[in-house]
Amino acid sequence: MWTVDLDHTHPYDHRHPDRGGKTLQHNLKPLCRFHHRIKTFGRWRDSQDEYLAVWFEAPTGHTYLGNPYTGRDLFASLKTQPPDHPARQRLTDERAHRTDTHRRQQAEWDTNNPPPF
């Protein structure tokens, strides 16, 4: 499961790919979904320096050097929201159930079909 979005600092130009925004290391950075969405839909801008540090510019003109993985650096009063459900545990439980079912079916088949097959 991905926990970040891979974002282009300079947007990829689908009409004229040679004009920039290429998918290269110096033009990519990981952003959490929160920061990716405020950049894409919230009139925030970002830039990357030569050390690949990410800077965000708010619509107000304020700039933030950032750890782009939480919203707390931009909105200190942002409340932590727990997930709606424990997705990882649910997926783990489903896989364990499938594995147990497969093992049970295999044991039953082995019992009912002794060698030679």
Calculate the dihedral angle through the C-alpha atoms of 12, 15, 20, 21, rounding to the nearest 10 degrees: 0
CA 7 to chain centre: 10
What is the DSSP secondary structure assignment for residue 51, as one 8-state letter?
A: T
The confidence score (pLDDT) of residue 24 equals: 83
Q: pLDDT digits over 47-71, tens only?
A: 887 777 788 899 999 998 865 555 5
Q: pLDDT digits over 93-112, tens only?
A: 788 888 889 889 988 988 99
Position 79, amino acid: K
Listed range (19-23, 91-95, 109-113) with the worst mean pLDDT:
91-95
Domain boundaries, given as residue ranges, for the chain? 1-80, 82-117
CA separation for the pair 40, 89 (Å, rounded):
31
Residue 23 · residue 8 · CB < 8 Å: yes
Indicate the helix (H) or strand (E) that contains 107. Answer: helix 87-112
The pTM of this model reads 0.48
